[in-house]
Amino acid sequence: MSTKKTAVVGAGLVGGLWAIYLAKRGYQVRVFDRRPDIRKMKVVQGKSINLALSERGWKGLIGAGIEEDIRKVSIPMKGRLMHAVDGSLTFQQYGRDDQAIYSVSRGLLNQTLLHCADRYENLELVFDHRCTDLDVQTNTISFHHEKTGNEVTETFDQIYGTDGAFSAVRTRLSRLDRYDYSQTYLDHGYKELEIPANPDGTHQLRNDCLHIWPRGEYMMIALPNVDGSFTCTLFIAFEGKNSLANLKTPEAVNAFFKTNFPDAYELMPELTQDFFANPDASLVMIKCNPWHYQDRICLLGDAAHAIVPFYGQGMNAGFEDCTALDELITKHNEDFKQIFPEYSRIRKPAGDAILELALRNYIEMRDKTADKEFLLQKKIESWFSEKHPEKWIPLYTQVSFSHIPYADALRNGDRQQQIMNQVMAMENIEAQWNSDAVEKKILSLL
Amino acid sequence: MSTKKTAVVGAGLVGGLWAIYLAKRGYQVRVFDRRPDIRKMKVVQGKSINLALSERGWKGLIGAGIEEDIRKVSIPMKGRLMHAVDGSLTFQQYGRDDQAIYSVSRGLLNQTLLHCADRYENLELVFDHRCTDLDVQTNTISFHHEKTGNEVTETFDQIYGTDGAFSAVRTRLSRLDRYDYSQTYLDHGYKELEIPANPDGTHQLRNDCLHIWPRGEYMMIALPNVDGSFTCTLFIAFEGKNSLANLKTPEAVNAFFKTNFPDAYELMPELTQDFFANPDASLVMIKCNPWHYQDRICLLGDAAHAIVPFYGQGMNAGFEDCTALDELITKHNEDFKQIFPEYSRIRKPAGDAILELALRNYIEMRDKTADKEFLLQKKIESWFSEKHPEKWIPLYTQVSFSHIPYADALRNGDRQQQIMNQVMAMENIEAQWNSDAVEKKILSLL
């Protein structure tokens, strides 16, 4: 067992999890975060940005031994429930009856990860330390102590950057020759809102699904919290007719919600207060290459691949970075000259693919889920998949309920879409959607 | 006349030129550069990276009143001369007989620009000042004095970032919310080399053209210097069979040049010395958006759009930024709330287009210029264009000998290529290339 001295920069979800994996290997681990200890902060559960844990995320938690702690505070969502303007509801199941994605609070998950990490004697959590520089030649990190104002430096055998979309570690790597980097913002932003719990603490809406109000160019979603509330998010353009720029007065906000989300509006007594208390938030996409430097520095999670939230896969992809890297360490017997290059080679296409899938899912959620033809196609895929599970795994299932590499899922999904274009063009498909003719057609095209 | 206090960060080619345009307007101009005064440094003419001045660049120099100074030290290149492995030569003219691009020394051009700038009483050149930070709220720049080690700050009404591909001004802007930025490196790099002058100071090769040794996956080019030498550049992959990674010994370099560039090899007595004295240089492409911040900060040149050098348009595009911005200042009567957004809106597509054209030109130069069909196509285009100058301007002419917006040139070029694909597919095109049938065919497709 090695006594490698490692730094994990960033004690968020991916940093917390990765620190545990390193500690389990017996490495000396120091985990730094610029913020104070999140375990000592009050997590307002109804107000946190919600996450959807799916298969890849659970695998990471199981490896860290904290699956059960989290399962207790997570809420299964078996499908999407679409709310039309006229109040009519349409349910679309995500997978099989026994499959769900799980709404969890970011704060609670982060606290639990740090509690679990703190059990290792060879792991130390260091808060209020903001990484200000990184000497890649000597592997020395400079920190600014946010409370004392002191500057401190510390040298490590290995440095892991888990410091999120605006990663200081990656920023330093991006100044290296031949380092590719891009940050791209969506023209759309978001606003956090809330549907409070009933007085008795129950949910005002069904709590076994993810709610969507698809409106074409924009949408609102709602995820259940354990305290009975829902965290709502309005995704909408920054500029233009329907946009954040045009929602600058209580009158405009009330009118917009009354007209476009009438059923939700009735459940949001604090709408305008929330709307103007919360910021117009932006959505950034980060790509970089490679994800490592020599055998000494490595990026995981948003630091390497910040994506948009529309597939609910950001954290899941970050946790998969951890399990993939952990498997490579075992495979190559701690030879990091082999491990890190292979990690970059296999995970970079995964990051690119889940970003592409997430971008496409925005269109799917805000527009296509309100489209009868789209819903019929999903029904046909689900029906055919049940008949021939070895021949057809729906794309959503590949992404959320399997460990198929994201890049393979993207490719498979494109091939499936080509087939479904032909199926949907069949005459009278609405009536014969579950007929022998459709089954034969798909089989012939596979 | 305004007494606006302006900073130009970066006293390179674009910074030097833009400072003159600002000074001519009567603004107070302070030009900062992290390097010492280039006018006091010895410019080794045969060793500088050469530039090709074309129409857009000349327009910028004419506006600054230094056209004549530069024309004296520039060498017209009327076309490309391709060197085959067997020593055979093929000439391809760039435009009309009276059109040429001009080989100039970067150092000499920069010195001349600063001499010209220094004539303005309202302009001050400040050297050894490295921009370390920028407060976008107060428009205050922090500098590190490279000689004294002092930190100084200074506040301006307007700040212009002309500090090149690794711009400190742009780096600060890239930390703003919703600021798009990307840096992408080519898999290919380059190595500067030299063909020295004859003992009597004359050129060893024709000096009225740009020499190319096109070899498919890689190429060498040579541009004439006024001292009789040629600056040669080998463009080649970093990794792989034919690559910089495989040219690590004098034996390997000699064998590679002897085999692939036999005629040039005979003229390069210092080949291996040069090869190992000069670095393996990389090629970066920078994109960002927007190119301004409010009515106070603006980027020009490589700071906004670093491109690859294969169209010889990097400096020309930067000079066009200057003339375009200068025209907008006049058009909007110094209302920078209108000027800067319009500048970003029209120049950003120009930068994207010339990057795309430059990338394509690498393939054209290293591969297609050795292809008979490609050369025939260019001959047909040139012949048709002479007959119908109002109907057809060859793409190279649009880019190098006109002021047609780059984005329009890219679009026009794509349309022309579609037409030429059909012309080149005509039966027996080699024999009938300048026939009535070909002329009619093109006219029918326009």
pLDDT of residue A43: 64
Instruction: State whether residue A345 sits within 8 Å of chain B by CB.
Output: no
pLDDT of residue A105: 85
Find, among A305, A424, A286, A312, the residue nearest to A364 by Cα.
A312
Chain-chain contact of A238 with B181 (C-beta, under 8 angstroms): no
Q: Does the pLDDT value for residue B44 go beyond 70?
A: no
The DSSP secondary structure of A387-407, one letter per residue, reads H-TTT---HHHHHHS----HH
B189: left (phi > 0), else alpha (psi -120 to 50), else beta? beta
Find the closest chain B residue to A178 by CA distance: B185
pLDDT of residue B48: 56
Q: Does the pLDDT value for residue B49 go beyond 90?
A: no
Decide if the complex's ipTM is over 0.95.
no
pLDDT of residue A73: 86
Using one digit for the tens of pLDDT, what is the confidence trace for A385-442? 999 999 999 999 999 999 999 999 999 999 999 999 999 999 999 999 999 999 999 9
Q: How far is B189 from chain A (nearest CA, A)?
A: 10
Domain boundaries, chain A: 5-76+99-179+287-359, 371-445
Chain-chain contact of A180 with B181 (C-beta, under 8 angstroms): no
Find, among A391, A397, A424, the residue nearest to A409 by Cα.
A397
pLDDT > 90 in chain B, percent: 92
Q: Could you tell me which residues come within 8 angstroms of residue B328 by beta carbon, excluding any fewer than 6 positions away?
A: B339, B342, B343
Q: Does the pLDDT value for residue B141 go beyond 90?
A: yes
Q: How far is A201 from chain B (nearest CA, A)?
A: 38
pLDDT of residue B440: 96
Q: How far is A166 from chain B (nearest CA, A)?
A: 9
Q: How far is A431 from chain B (nearest CA, A)?
A: 45
Nearest to A178 among B178, B180, B282 (CB): B282
Please give the Cα distance from B195 to B213 (Å, whole number).
14
Find, among B294, B333, B341, B303, the residue nearest to B15 by Cα.
B303
pLDDT of residue B247: 98
Chain-chain contact of A181 with B183 (C-beta, under 8 angstroms): yes
Q: What are φ and ψ of residue A98, in 5° steps?
A: -95, 10
Strands A210-214 and A219-224: what pairing? antiparallel
B contacts of A183 (beta carbons < 8 Å): 174, 179-182
Using one digit for the tens of pLDDT, what is the confidence trace for B432-441? 999 999 999 9
Q: How far is B49 from chain A (nearest CA, A)?
A: 19
Q: Does the pLDDT value for residue B45 go beyond 90?
A: no
Using one digit for the tens of pLDDT, what is the confidence trace for B260-315? 999 999 999 999 999 999 999 999 999 999 999 999 999 999 999 999 999 999 99
pLDDT of residue B3: 78
Find the closest chain B residue to A189 by CA distance: B178
pLDDT of residue B105: 85
Using one digit for the tens of pLDDT, what is the confidence trace for A251-264? 999 999 999 999 99
The rounded mean pLDDT for chain B is 95
Nearest to B185 among A178, A183, A282 (CB): A178
Chain-chain contact of B238 with A178 (C-beta, under 8 angstroms): yes
**Cis? peptide before A290, omega within 30° of 0:** yes
**Cis? peptide before A349, omega within 30° of 0:** no
Q: Does the pLDDT value for residue A188 go beyond 50?
A: yes
A contacts of B177 (beta carbons < 8 Å): 185, 282
> Stretch B29-54: mean pLDDT, rounded?
83
Residue entry with tokens 């007065």: A249
Chain-chain contact of A183 with B177 (C-beta, under 8 angstroms): no
pLDDT of residue B2: 62
Q: What are φ and ψ of residue A99, in 5° steps?
A: -110, 140
Please give the Cα distance from A206 to A201 (Å, whole number).
13
Q: How far is B81 from chain A (nearest CA, A)?
A: 31
Q: Could you tell me which residues come within 8 angstroms of residue B353 by beta carbon, excluding any fewer than 6 positions away?
A: B405, B406, B407, B409, B410
Q: Which residue has the higher pLDDT, A125 or A66?
A: A125
Buried b (16+ CB within 10 A) or exposed e, B4-32: bbbbbbbbbbbbbbbbbbbbbbebbbbbb
Q: Does the pLDDT value for residue B46 go beyond 50?
A: no
**Nearest-5° angle of CA A241, CA A244, CA A248?**
100
The domain defined by A5-76+99-179+287-359 carries CATH number 3.50.50.60: yes
Residue B435: how many CB atoms within 10 A of its CB?
13
Residue to mutate among A178, A181, A188, A190, with most B CBs inside 10 A, is: A178
Using one digit for the tens of pLDDT, what is the confidence trace for B58-67? 999 999 988 9
pLDDT > 70 in chain B, percent: 98
B contacts of A180 (beta carbons < 8 Å): 183-185
> Could you tell me which residues are beta bridge partners of residue B80?
B92, B210
Q: Does the pLDDT value for residue A220 go beyond 60?
A: yes
Q: Does the pLDDT value for residue A46 go beyond 50?
A: no
Q: Does the pLDDT value for residue A48 go beyond 60?
A: no
Nearest to B282 among A174, A177, A238 (CB): A177
CB half-sphere exposure, B292, CA atoms < 13 A: 20
Please give the Cα distance from A55 to A397 (Å, whole number).
10
The rounded mean pLDDT for chain A is 95
Instruction: State whether residue A280 sits within 8 Å of chain B by CB.
Output: no
Please give the Cα distance from A287 to B350 (Å, whole number).
24
- How sure is the predictor about A2, in pLDDT bands with cuts at 50, 70 and 90? low
Instruction: State whether residue B330 sits within 8 Å of chain A by CB.
Output: no
> Could you tell me which residues are beta bridge partners of residue B243?
B237
